Amino acid sequence: MFTGIVIGVGRVLRKDDTAGDQRIQIDTQGVALPDIGRGDSIAVNGVCLTVSDYDANAFEADVSRETLSVTTLGKLEVGALVNLEPSLRLGDSLDGHIVSGHVDGVGHVIALKEMARSQAITIEVPQLLTPYFAHKGSVTIDGVNLTINSAVKKNLEVNIIPHTREVTIIDSYEVGAVVNIEVDIIARYVERLFKASREAEEK
């Protein structure tokens, strides 16, 4: 479980294909990660990965074929920068919102607009995800907890404050960039409750 509060930016050091899956190595120098060990969870661009090996400066994780097919991790090049967040621990502050690290889909940046010291980003999202977005609701983009400015058809607009631009990879986005999207878990459960209610009424 995560909060969407990225603590720093790592760099892809190596990617090895392993029978259809991949093992990825991430440089963590300069990122204040807590002590990590094998089996710990770290969100990489919003994708929950399990640490398979580590040292003082990097960690490795295996990425399944399924994860490669539904996220942007398979498209990362060696040298690419990635958002990092360790898993939430008992007693930690929940400053963002509840994030599972299970990506729901991939979106595309279609517009960038400077607004004073902030930046508005418009992202085209998959049609199937549009019911989960609402004005002033929450969304996770590449592991970053963000508030939705507007949600019109397949276009989602979020506002990026200076601090977020400084500590995440978002400031490097260009039009056409692909991003991982996780919907608000509360919206998903509300949808399931309504669906169960309708199914019960139809019986």
For the domain that residue 45 is a member of, what is the CATH number? 2.40.30.20
Instruction: Looking at the structure, tell me whether residues 121 and 70 fall in a common domain.
Output: no
Domain end, chosen from 26, 53, 86, is at 86
> Tokens 């990489």 sit at which residue?
44
State residue 195's pLDDT score.
Answer: 74
Q: What 3-state class would DSSP assign to 105?
A: strand
> How many residues are listed for the chain in this entry?
203
Same structural domain for residues 124 and 67? Answer: no
Judge if 178 and 144 occupy the same domain. yes
Q: What is the pLDDT of residue 138?
A: 93
For position 136, what pLDDT does the model report?
93
- Contact yes or no for 147/106 (Cβ under 8 A): no
**Domain for residue 34, yes or no?**
yes
Tell me which residues of the chain have a pLDDT lower than 50.
Answer: none
Range of the domain at 161: 105-192
Q: Check whether residue 79 and residue 15 sit in a common domain.
A: yes
Amino acid letter, 82? V
Q: Are residues 134 and 172 in the same domain?
A: yes
Would you state the pLDDT for residue 127? Answer: 95
Report whether 98 contacts 139 (CB < 8 A). no
Cα–Cα distance for residue pair 162/86, rounded to 1 Å: 22
115 shares its domain with 149: yes
Q: Give Cα separations from 190 to 2, 134, 194 (angstroms).
A: 20, 13, 6
- Distance between CA atoms of residues 20 and 103, nearest Å: 20
Please name the amino acid found at residue 87.
S
Q: Show the tokens assigned to 79.
A: 């040298």
How far does CA 143 lie from the centroid of its chain?
3
Whether residues 60 and 14 share a domain: the answer is yes
Residues with Cβ within 8 Å of residue 191, at least 6 apart in sequence: 131, 132
DSSP 79: T
Q: What is residue 91's predicted lDDT score, i.e. its pLDDT?
A: 66
Q: Do 82 and 109 lie in a common domain?
A: no
173 and 112 in a single domain? The answer is yes
Do 79 and 113 belong together in one domain?
Answer: no
Q: What does the pLDDT read at residue 192?
A: 73
Name the DSSP letter for residue 31.
Answer: -
Predicted local distance difference test score (pLDDT) of residue 153: 93
Of 86, 118, 151, which one is at a domain's C-terminal end? 86
Of the candidates 62, 66, 69, 58, which has an alpha carbon nearest to the alpha carbon of residue 26? 58
Q: Is residue 43 part of a domain?
A: yes
Check residue 75 and give its pLDDT: 93
Give the count of domains, the chain.
2
Q: Could you tell me if residue 93 is inside a domain?
A: no
122 and 73 share one domain: no
Q: Which of 86, 116, 139 is the last residue of a domain?
A: 86
Same domain? For 73 and 140 the reply is: no
